Chains A and B, each alone.
Chain A
Amino acid sequence: MTTTTQSRADAKAAAAHAAYQPVDGRLLDVENLHVHFHTSDGVAKAINGVSFHLDQGESLAILGESGSGKSVTAQAIMGILDVPPAKIPEGHIRYCGQDLLAMPEEQRRKTRGPEISMIFQDALSSLNPVFPVGWQIAEMFREHRGLNKSDALAQAVRLMERVSIPGAKARVKAYPHQFSGGMRQRIMIAMAIALDPAILIADEPTTALDVTVQAQIMSLLQELQQERKMGLILITHDLGVVADVADRIAVMYAGRLIETADVYTGYANPAHPYTKGLLDSLPRLDQKGQTLAAIPGLPPNLLKMPPGCAFHPRCPLARERCREERPELVEVRPGRFAACHYTEEVLHA
């Protein structure tokens, strides 16, 4: 790349980022988010008043069983929900103080990639099968920064090298199916960090991978986050995967947050019976051979939400009050929030 195009691209990048400056380090504020799916069977209320925030350089893990609304939350932030059937009847998603939901679509589109970016569970199906991987990474520079073909491709090679793809230069023209699962996820990561976004959302980035590869991808994500001071939202149903990477955890159940805490206290001393159940079902090195205490029962049907606490049909502590009155997410300890009537019992257990 010539110096003039480099500096022009940098200037453009700087100008683009300048429009969004975090206020007091706050990148993202999700406030009372609701997402409904209008289906032929009725309205599925997938997200019911979720609020959380993310600061610069912070990593937040969103946990919960499959179907609890983690991906829908991420897609709402990203603005990639299918509308219809999805609808956001209420809520705000503020990025650097600006409400993404109130933005004109064209302005919002330009935040995808340079400001907020996302990687997905299945990198094979998430990459376009008919275009070379280098082309797909370079597309970010061509579409958002106006770089020409060869400059954009040079950037793609640089990124592929950064995410440790062996022989990046030689493989820039290869197609997604010619890579292993781990390498494909690295390519997705390269594409997502291409424009130096302030926020990276990773939706189950390692679920489809072997255990050894999982650890490599997680440490790559952690490394990149620290190097670029990104805010990282890590979505997973596997609590074991994120323990080393996350600063804070947010636990979802049936479209609501039921507990938020910093990772150490949350793991050591959960405040919600559901979080406790999830942690108890983790295989532990110090209790080898013991059978796992999985949470009995299934998450509720979104079309027929139980009254009161949505977790009560499965909760070992449930009693009359839980069936009638829905617990709000309240601060139970400084900086810790939980939505349970009997949180003190859980904390002291």
Chain B
Amino acid sequence: MGKYIVRRLLLMIPVVVGATFLIYAMVFAMPGDPLAGRCGERPCNPAFAAKFRADHNLNDPLPIQYAKYLGNLAQGDLGETFQQVKVADELQQRYPITTRLAIIAILFELFIGVLAGVLSGIRRGKFIDNLVLVSTLIVIAIPTFVIGSLAQYAFGLKLGWFPVTVSPQATWFELLLPGMVLGAISLAYVARLTRTNLVENLRADYVRTATAKGLSRARTVGVHTLRNSLIPVVTFVGADFGGLLGGAIITERIFNIRGVGGYIFQSIHSRDGVAVVGAVTVLVIVFLFMNLIVDLLYGVLDPRISHD
């Protein structure tokens, strides 16, 4: 187990290096001049332009630029944007917001999704089952920005249950509605995944054994069947959490949330290469760690999987 974790951590190094290089190269290749529009309507004066280029290593060829960047990264320095804001500072402000939003979305999809899936699975072919199947299909079919805008209009504007937009503090309460919007599609997948697995597992021999042991139906389903059915669900939700920690561009925009997704989007827009690479590097690392945690969790949930 310990050996396995060390091996996985070592494997992360080439992945992070490779991923950041790809991002760096793409940003490098982006068309346009980072100096454009920096000095109002006029071109910048040559002295300023030269200093700017030197400060940001813009005169070096790609491999050199990248090597310099990696050197800083290894010391924990994510660099500075063209506006002289430290990328680390910006991420430090935005990451808690994105994390809060992701946690709300994940809890929502996990609890409501599993509940819907279980109800639907144990009442197969009945009204509740059809209700879950149809409503999840609808949710999956509708794009997030439609769900988000509708929810904002209905629950925020009309009913007034939730704030319409999120303040810069982004409190848990303010993030509740956006979180549910963000988790909606995954919730639909979780419900369906739970249902499918539950229905399949209910036919398993060990469920028949549980019944033959004289266990109550609630225990047979709730302990014996559910435990097995949730293994793939937990894997899905874990991977989804890793993705959500990368920010949510659409949801952030609708509700005016100052999260990581919007930051990357803005930075790409303003061709702020350092910001893009810095933010994405962090995302890649977070995602890899989430993946590792999911794999370890998988081994805990399913004793047949061994990490030795």
Could you tell me which A residues sit within 8 Å of B by CB distance? 78, 80, 109-114, 117-118, 120, 122, 125-131, 139-140, 143-144, 175, 177, 188, 191
Contact = CB atoms under 8 A, between A and B. Distances in A.
Given A80-B211, A143-B219, 4 more contacts: A80-B208, A113-B214, A120-B209, A128-B209
Interface string B221-234: 00010011001000
B150 to A, nearest CB: 40
28 contacts: A109-B216, A111-B214, A112-B211, A112-B213, A113-B214, A114-B214, A117-B213, A120-B205, A120-B208, A122-B205, A126-B205, A127-B206, A128-B209, A128-B210, A128-B224, A129-B206, A129-B228, A129-B302, A129-B304, A130-B231, A131-B227, A139-B213, A140-B213, A143-B213, A143-B216, A143-B219, A175-B303, A175-B304
B288 to A, nearest CB: 27
Interface of B: 204-206, 208-216, 219, 224, 227-228, 231, 301-304
A112 B302 CA distance: 28
Contacts of B204: 125
A130 B228 contact: yes
Contacts of B216: 109, 143
A171 to B, nearest CB: 13
A128 B213 CA distance: 12
A13 to B, nearest CB: 14
A172 to B, nearest CB: 14
- Sorted from nearest, which 9 A-B pairs have the closest CB atoms? A112-B214, A113-B214, A125-B205, A128-B206, A175-B303, A126-B205, A126-B209, A80-B211, A118-B212
B113 to A, nearest CB: 21
B212 A80 contact: yes
Contacts of A111: 214
B29 to A, nearest CB: 49
A177 B212 contact: no
Give the residue among B212, B216, B304 with the most A Cβ atoms within 10 A: B212
Contact of B212 (A78, A130, A139, A175): A78
Nearest to B209: A126
B293 to A, nearest CB: 19
Contacts of A110: 214
Nearest to B202: A82
B93 to A, nearest CB: 42
Contacts of A143: 213-216, 219
B212 A112 contact: yes
A140 B210 CA distance: 10
B223 to A, nearest CB: 9
A120 B227 CA distance: 22
B214 A144 contact: yes
Contact of B227 (A125, A127, A130, A191): A130
